[in-house]
Amino acid sequence: MLRNGAAGGGAAAQRPVRVWCDGCYDMVHYGHSNQLRQARAMGDYLIVGVHTDEEIAKHKGPPVFTQEERYKMVQAIKWVDEIAPGAPYVTTLETLDKYNCDFCVHGDDITLTIDGKDTYEEVKTAGRYRECKRTQGVSTTDLVGRMLLMTKAHHSNIDEDLDYRKHTDNFGKGPKGHSPWTGVSQFLQTSQKIIQFASGKEPQPGDTIIYVAGAFDLFHIGHVDFLEKVHQLAERPYIIAGLHFDQEVNRYKGKNYPIMNIHERTLSVLACRYVSEVVIGAPYAVTADLLDHFKVTLVCHGMTEVVPDKDGSDPYEEPKRRGIFQLVDSGSNLTTDLIVQRIIKNRLEFEARNQKKEAKELAVLEAMKRLEEEKH
């Protein structure tokens, strides 16, 4: 997707199309990854600007992750070529020019500054704005809601829970209805979505096939650090991540875990640049069948506790017997539990933030509606 540029002697020099995206990328989920995937497909090189903690706190409320954690998370998404740390909250032509970007891409929802202005106004006016479709069925707001509610209704194959239904009906509903951007709609997994996220690469002769398994819930920096370390264990690593079904995760984690169901966790893990393949609904015990089927050379696990299988046996018994099991210290102490604790600690601030965000979005919708009516 090269673009013609003026060159001496009348010859048209081809230069790559550079695309800009920016955002908070706090609690990065597959909705963010899907936006970046679509943006990358519009050009040849994708630069992602990530806002600082200070900017986010000013315009939106407290971020869950620190800026360092957020920079690393975005860098781990496989469609990102470069990140721009400390990008300004309002996207300007000056920023696009500084990074030599042709245009910027955002989802078809609205982002507003503290005083209710569209943060993309300037680049839209200059014709250097493109839009991609927002991923239905996920928002950071909904994930926060699931954590605070402590219900299990978001798991696959579970009868719907009345509290969760009430939450999805009311979430962010002000007195005037609810915003289509922050409100909750159900995520529907399709084979097409998995194909778009999957690498599609088969292991090649000479690759080291490494198997890792777990919940990979709320895919976060702890997971990224672990997978990066595993990736460094071989010259040509081919990492297969086995994801346990919701009911299995709930058996060993308890409470309302996993926060993300199996379909959502699959996309989050597939978006990571270190992962080549995902087993959806992997058996809890790493069996001889599984190891032989994928021709696994090495099985890795982090430093978190390994809960015994239903019959009390060690799920890693077989790889240990074969001498191919390795513990990997990611150097990160961040777990899904800790993230949930961070959020519950900030609970009141988050609830206030979500209501404010909703009210701002509704005000913009009202204004857009009025403009439409005035035209007719």
Instruction: Give the tens place of pLDDT for each residue, 226-239.
Output: 999 999 999 999 99
Strand order in the sheet with 18-23: 82-85, 45-50, 18-23, 103-107, 129-132
* Interior angle at CA 70, CA 87 and CA 194, nearest 5: 110
| Model confidence band, residue 173 (pLDDT cutoffs 50, 70, 90) | very low
- pLDDT: which is higher, 110 or 185: 110
pLDDT digits (tens, 9 = 90+) for 72-102: 999 999 999 999 999 998 899 999 999 999 9
Which DSSP category does 237 fall into? E
Mean pLDDT of 254-278: 94
The pLDDT assigned to 184 comes to 45
As beta bridge partners, residue 212 has 241, 300
Closest CA to 53 of 87, 30, 94, 90: 87
Closest CA to 319 of 331, 311, 329, 327: 327
- pLDDT: which is higher, 177 or 198: 198
Least confident of 51-65, 85-99, 201-215, 305-319: 51-65
**Are 35 and 105 a contacting pair, CB within 8 Å?**
yes
Integer Cα distance of 361 and 109 in angstroms: 9
The pLDDT assigned to 114 comes to 65
Given a cut of 80, whether residue 166 has pLDDT beyond it is no
What domains can you pick out in the chain, each with its CATH number?
18-132 (3.40.50.620), 191-327 (3.40.50.620)
| Model confidence band, residue 142 (pLDDT cutoffs 50, 70, 90) | confident
* H/E stretch holding 45: strand 45-50
Mean pLDDT of 316-320: 98
- Look over the chain and give the mean of its residue pLDDT values, rounded to a whole number: 85
Torsion of CA 223, 290, 317, 157, to 10 degrees: 60
Least confident of 3-12, 61-70, 105-114, 149-158: 3-12
Axis-axis angle for helices 162-170, 140-149 (nearest 10): 150
The pLDDT assigned to 59 comes to 79
The pLDDT assigned to 298 comes to 98
Cβ neighbors of 66 (< 8 A, separation 6 or more) are: 53
pTM metric for this prediction: 0.82
Given a cut of 70, whether residue 25 has pLDDT beyond it is yes
- pLDDT: which is higher, 63 or 184: 63
Find where tokens 């270190």 sit. 274
Given a cut of 80, whether residue 5 has pLDDT beyond it is no
Which two tokens mark 170?
Answer: 């009311």
pLDDT digits (tens, 9 = 90+) for 329-376: 999 999 988 888 887 776 667 666 667 767 777 777 787 788 778 877
* Interior angle at CA 322, CA 319 and CA 324, nearest 5: 60
The pLDDT assigned to 168 comes to 44
Least confident of 30-34, 96-100, 242-246: 30-34
Cβ neighbors of 162 (< 8 A, separation 6 or more) are: none
Please give the single-letter amino acid code of residue 183: G
Given a cut of 90, whether residue 213 has pLDDT beyond it is yes
Which DSSP category does 118 fall into? B
Find where tokens 């620190």 sit. 66
Least confident of 38-52, 151-165, 284-298: 151-165
Classify each residue of 5-22 as buried b or exposed e, where b means 16 or more C-beta atoms within 10 Å of its C-beta. Answer: eeeeeeeeeeeeebbbbb
The pLDDT assigned to 40 comes to 97
| Model confidence band, residue 285 (pLDDT cutoffs 50, 70, 90) | very high
The pLDDT assigned to 127 comes to 95
* H/E stretch holding 84: strand 82-85
Alpha-carbon distance values, 374 to 176, 360, 361, 367, 371 (Å): 21, 21, 20, 11, 5
Closest CA to 36 of 197, 218, 190, 172: 197
Integer Cα distance of 291 and 135 in angstroms: 35
Integer Cα distance of 85 and 67 in angstroms: 8
Which two tokens mark 372?
Answer: 């439409």
pLDDT digits (tens, 9 = 90+) for 38-55: 999 999 999 999 999 999
